[in-house]
Amino acid sequence: MGNTGWWQHGVIYQIYPRSFMDSDGDGVGDLPGILERLDHLTWLGVDAIWLSPIHPSPMDDFGYDVSDYTGVDPVFGTMDDLDRLVAAAHARGVRVLLDWVPNHTSDQHPWFRASRSSRDDPRRDWYVWRDPRPDGGPPSNWLRYVGDSAWRWDQATGQFYYRVFLDSQPDLNWRNPAVQEAMFDTLRFWLARGIDGFRIDALVVLVEDDQLRDNPPNPGYRPGRDLPYMRELSVWNVNRPETRELAARMRKVVDELGDDRVLLAELGLPLEQIVAYYGDSDGIQVPFNFELLTTAWDASVIAGYVDRYLAALPAGAWPNWVLGNHDTPRVATRLGPAQARVAAMLLLTLPGTPTLYQGEELGLEDVPIPPGQVLDPIARLVPGRGRDPERTPMPWDGDPGAGFSTGRPWLPVGDGNRARNVAAQRDDPASMLTLHRRLLGLRRQTPALVTGAYHRVEAAGDVLAYVRAAPGARWLVALNLGPSPARLAVPGPSLAGRVALSTHPGRDGQPVGGSLELAGDEGVVVECESGSPAPTSIS
């Protein structure tokens, strides 16, 4: 595969459209809003935007319940608005990726309305319908995400349908070739309109065992800590071999229009299973690596994972890193604001494609949602797991609507996040936004940080340090993952150099010799004096 694809060099920015920018004052972000704020993204320096779903939807799961895969929901605008956004993004050299939700539709999709209308309907087999067991119970013991049976009884037709997420998100039957073709056609529709690729939602639950074999219990289940469905080992309804085969076919569809279109996929699997989704011409280019979303924030743990991950990648596979998304608490809430800066440096200097979730460049924190204003249905189904706090609007300025909306934002902006707005941070050399912009700028100018080899230098105590090296260039990244000052003994003269960028302003240009002092919660990128033999690149 080499390392030539735009998506290998680029940084992918995830937009949650409801919360990015509202152009019409209804309190919900929209496509003309994204267009209005495109300059922010090019100024920041991202290469691609991935839009969470924008299709017609009852919004039970805020767009992840699609009722028309080839349309645009009026709350977000029109097809023309999307075409304009894509054209404007392309004119700025920014690619546009859509979120594709193949596992399930909305129950309001015409396919499901037909499917549930009668057992004889031609669409019946487009979803997963089964008779009860002889005792009247569900067809298998499989659990859905929120922990109860994944089978939902349908009184009218006397069968169960399968659904991993909400009742209103019935799973499609991907064993049916007509479903496959209809869904592949939705990809073709958007590719022909100039869309540069897709993030595949919930790929791992696409297909289930056709014999409905029961899952075994999970002996390692930690009640209260693990999601409730984890009390079973989901061996028969998650990550089935058929899903991997279908991923290959998705890749073929996406390659029909050339090789610069890309597939990202949400898998949420251990790394040994993630890497199986790679494949030169029959795999997913970016099977998401979610490790940084949940890892213990510990130098040896993170360095150990990097080693195992890079070693597990098949030849030609390109790594990737995800630090935040619309399903996970904000980085600054998880790690604290000071470590969020170090984490940004880690994300943007590890080998592989980073995805950056909107607002992380501002250091946004989770917004506590008052009980009466909770909107995410998951918050009701799994208390404590609601995702509203990380989906609150982008603050653009200090106005009451934060420059996001002239109306009442659909979720509260939060006073803390309002103060972290773009206008307030843009010209502040010490801001999180400036740090992100400088990191992105440095990546762009520094091939070693993008395609260079990775060598671990130190992973002890709170210090994580590594070198990125390319012919004639060596860059040292040294991160202090704790609040106390730390020292890295820089081994050998080959790592001496100058600080190119620190999370702590004021260190630029400082020489680095035999050792490197790091303040608490500080990370630095050091440009080393070259002259030492250049290791080979990572791919």
| Distance in Å, CB of 375 to Mg ion, minimum | 16
Residue 107 among the catalytic residues:
no
Nearest 10 degrees: CA dihedral of 497, 500, 501, 506? 90
The owner of tokens 């803390």 is 416
Q: Is 532 helix (H, G, I), strand (E, B) or coil?
A: coil
**256 catalytic, yes or no?**
yes
Give me the least distance between CB of 56 and Mg ion, in Å please: 15
CB 100 within 8 A of CB 264: no
CB 140 within 8 A of CB 191: no
- One-letter amino acid of 371: P
24 binds Mg ion (CB under 5 A): yes
Would you say 393 or 523 has its CB closer to ligand GLC?
A: 393
- Decide whether 290 or 454 has the Cβ nearer to ligand GLC: 290
| Interface residue with ligand GLC, options 16, 50, 64, 454 (CB under 6 A) | 64
Q: What are phi and psi of 327, to 5 degrees?
A: -115, 5
Q: What SS3 class is residue 503?
A: coil
By the rule CB under 5 A, 22 interacts with Mg ion: yes
* Cα Dmax for the chain: 77
CB-based contact 480:447 (threshold 8 Å):
no
> CA 14 from chain center: how many Å?
7
Q: How far apart are CA 29 and CA 12, in angstroms?
A: 20
Which of 165, 278, 466, 475 contacts ligand GLC by CB under 6 A? 165
Q: Which is nearer to ligand GLC, 64 or 318 (CB)?
A: 64
The residue with its CB nearest to Mg ion is 30
Token pair listed for 190: 């958007």
Q: Does 327 bind ligand GLC (CB under 6 A)?
A: yes
Q: Hey, is 179 helix, strand or coil?
A: helix
Using CB under 6 A as the binding rule, whether residue 20 contacts ligand GLC is answered as no
Of the candidate residues 196, 201, 365, 522, the single one contacting ligand GLC (CB under 6 A): 201
Question: Per the residue annotation, which of 30, 65, 201, 366 is the catalytic one?
Answer: 201
By CB under 6 A, residue 100 contacts ligand GLC: no
User: How near is the Cβ of 378 to ligand GLC at its closest, in Å?
Assistant: 7
CB half-sphere exposure, 204, CA atoms < 13 A: 20
Residue number, 81 or 232, with CB nearest to Mg ion: 81
The three-class DSSP label of residue 127 is strand
Minimum CB–partner distance for residue 326 and ligand GLC (Å): 6
**Residue 390 is a binding residue for Mg ion (CB under 5 A):** no
* Per-residue DSSP letter, 361: G
Among 28, 150, 463, 488, binds Mg ion (CB under 5 A): 28
Instruction: Answer whether 253's CB lies under 8 Å from 192's CB.
Output: no
The only residue of 13, 30, 199, 202 in contact with Mg ion, by rule CB under 5 A: 30
Q: Is 101 in the site for ligand GLC (CB under 6 A)?
A: yes
Quick check: 202 binds ligand GLC (CB under 6 A)? yes
Query: Which pair of structure tokens corresponds to residue 265?
Result: 């996929």
From 12, 3, 22, 7, select the one nearest 395 (Cα to Cα). Answer: 22
Residue in 39, 80, 167, 256 annotated catalytic: 256
Q: Which residue stretch of 27-35, 48-56, 218-226, 329-337 sits at the interface with Mg ion (rule: CB under 5 A)?
A: 27-35
Q: Which residues are catalytic?
A: 201, 256
Contacts to Mg ion by CB under 5 A: 22, 24, 26, 28, 30
Contact positions vs ligand GLC (CB under 6 A): 61, 64, 101, 165, 201-202, 266, 326-327
